Amino acid sequence: MNRTEKYQCCMVMAGGGFRFGYYLGMYAAAVETNNKPDLLLASCGGAIAAAVIQALPDDAQRKAWVSSAAMYQFLCGLQSTPKAAIGRAFIHAVKRRLNIRPAPLIPDLFDDYFFDIPSQLPLPSPVSQTENPPAVAIIGGKMLFSKDEVGQQRDQRKLFTEVVFGNPHTAALLQGMHSPLSDTKWGQNAIAQQLQTDTGMPLSDAVRISISDMYYFPCHAHQAEHYTGGVVDLFPIELAKRLAQRVIMELKAPFNQALSVPAWRTVLGIDANHRLRHVHGQHADVWIDASDVDGLFDKRGMQMKVSWIRNRFSLLMPARYETYREDVEAQWQYGYQRGLEAFSNPSPNYKLHMRHATRHNRGHPATE
């Protein structure tokens, strides 16, 4: 592969939270149908799945790692902080919803978060493989402000630089590209124009950076810099097209208008559902319909619950380890079946088949 040659196929793993097991199923379906990607472009929870796929050689080992007792114990160990107090969280959510200005203040991503998470995730060590694993590129955001500046007026200042962590070939393909979310179509957003690449960041740190999430998990420090999550470009379809000849994307459910949309507006200065509709309106070679994943799994796996006795929002895992394993299997099967469905019929009329389509996530038909 020379310096200017694109990858053959990029699978985008965007979001997913801690339900990232379904990405392993989607990847398995891609391989089985001769659509194996040679690049995984990942953000947030999808970054964990991408790292697992690259490290381990087959579906059985990947699934075993995700459903292991060690992973279960790690997830059970995520603890809420005093910032997750019910009354405080409610008041702050109401304030964000009422303030319609795009990112008016420099946000506190250092201390204002609900759940503690270790700086190092329990990722698997790479195992030798007979076939070349896909390359992995992970999205994060470098913070352009210090802790001392939190709470100050932003005054249209850019607060984040989108960074893609990957290999030198990926960096070369992205050279000179602007961050898609810095475009003026998104209004007075807080994203810097120039996209950056980083070929030296350890994979474990890149994954930890990408899953940082405003108001949920803290930012991540590395070599005197602070980073926030892949939310700075959660659906990187423009990057995928720049990197590969073919693109595999998900159809996503709309963001919650009461909670998620105000959070995006407050921190990034962007309307999350406007961005989602724009992504869904673009061309991708294969769209995998995951628009109903929340509805199917909102009562399975990790859930955010209200603990009135402790006055906290808490992350709760299934009480039994066997139940957790069953949930991982259900996630995997969901991704596998939806992948098989998409690869067997990559119809350009995918909008007609989106299982959970509303005015908030229904894009205009692609014209490319």
Environment class of residue 138 by beta-carbon count within 10 Å: exposed (0-12), middle (13-18) or buried (19+)?
A: buried
Q: What angle (nearest 5°) sits at the alpha carbon of residue 234, between those of residues 231 and 237?
A: 155
Whether residue 43 contacts residue 229, with contact meaning beta carbons closer than 8 Å, is answered with yes
In angstroms, the CA 96 to CA 341 distance is 39
pTM score, whole prediction:
0.93
3-state secondary structure of 33: coil
In a structure prediction context, what are the per-residue pLDDT tens digits for the chain, which is 368 residues long? 445 799 999 999 998 778 889 999 999 999 999 999 999 999 999 999 999 999 999 999 999 999 999 999 988 888 899 998 999 988 988 999 999 999 999 999 999 999 998 777 889 988 877 678 999 999 999 999 999 999 999 999 999 999 999 999 999 999 999 999 999 999 999 999 999 999 999 999 999 999 998 888 999 999 999 999 999 999 999 999 999 999 999 999 898 898 889 999 999 999 999 999 999 999 999 999 998 887 776 666 677 788 888 888 888 888 899 999 999 999 999 999 999 999 997 655 555 568 887 888 887 654 43
- The domain spans of the chain are 7-117+134-344
Looking at residue 367, what is its pLDDT? 40
Looking at residue 368, what is its pLDDT? 39
Q: What angle (nearest 5°) sits at the alpha carbon of residue 279, between those of residues 273 and 285?
A: 150
Looking at residue 133, what is its pLDDT? 93
Looking at residue 259, what is its pLDDT? 86
Looking at residue 122, what is its pLDDT? 85
